[in-house]
Amino acid sequence: MEIAPYTPVDEAQVLALSLRAWAPVFEKMRPAVPDYVYRAFYPAGWAARQAADISSYLASEDLTAFVVRENGRILGWIGLRTHPEDRMGEIHILAVDPDAQQRGVARALMDHALAFFRAAGLEIALVETGDDPGHQPSRATYEALGFERWPVARYFRKL
């Protein structure tokens, strides 16, 4: 496996693997979220929203992203943001192809991101994920890497 900066040539593979990776996440998340909230966030379905969000992120001018390749195939990717005012780096997005999961791809990407943040002089790393059953593997990965959970509550109310 090799980690390299994302280039626009990678977009189709990155988008496709992200949607494959997140299909089981959203399947498990769906019943855990109030219907009116889910419909508000994903009126055309989760895949359409995620594809649009990924495409927007990949087109942004301040893009920092890396891909993991093996034999020319992208196995996963990570998108980063820096917040120098807070001396903080943010793992904005992470996806690993289902066929490459449980092979250390996420760990390699996270380690690369943390090294990137340290080299930039940042002191804190942030990653957010859901508290629903679909995101349990993500939480386990982040906790295994030493991330500490910040107690945050997000509430919704139908109007």
Give a yes or no: residue 154 inside a domain: no
pTM of the predicted model, to two decimals?
0.90
Sign of CA dihedral 61, 80, 128, 85: negative
Question: Looking at the 3D structure of the chain, how many domains does it have?
Answer: 1
Give a yes or no: residue 151 inside a domain: no
pLDDT above 90 (res 154):
no
Q: Find the CATH number of the domain harbouring 125.
A: 3.40.630.30
Give a yes or no: residue 155 inside a domain: no
Q: How many CB atoms lie within 10 A of CB 68?
A: 24
Residue 98 near residue 21 (C-beta atoms within 8 A): yes
Among 140, 145, 47, 128, which Cα is nearest to 93's? 128
Give a yes or no: residue 14 inside a domain: yes
Chain segment 24-74, per-residue pLDDT in tens: 999 998 999 999 999 999 999 999 999 999 999 999 988 899 999 999 999
Residue 94 belongs to domain spanning: 2-144
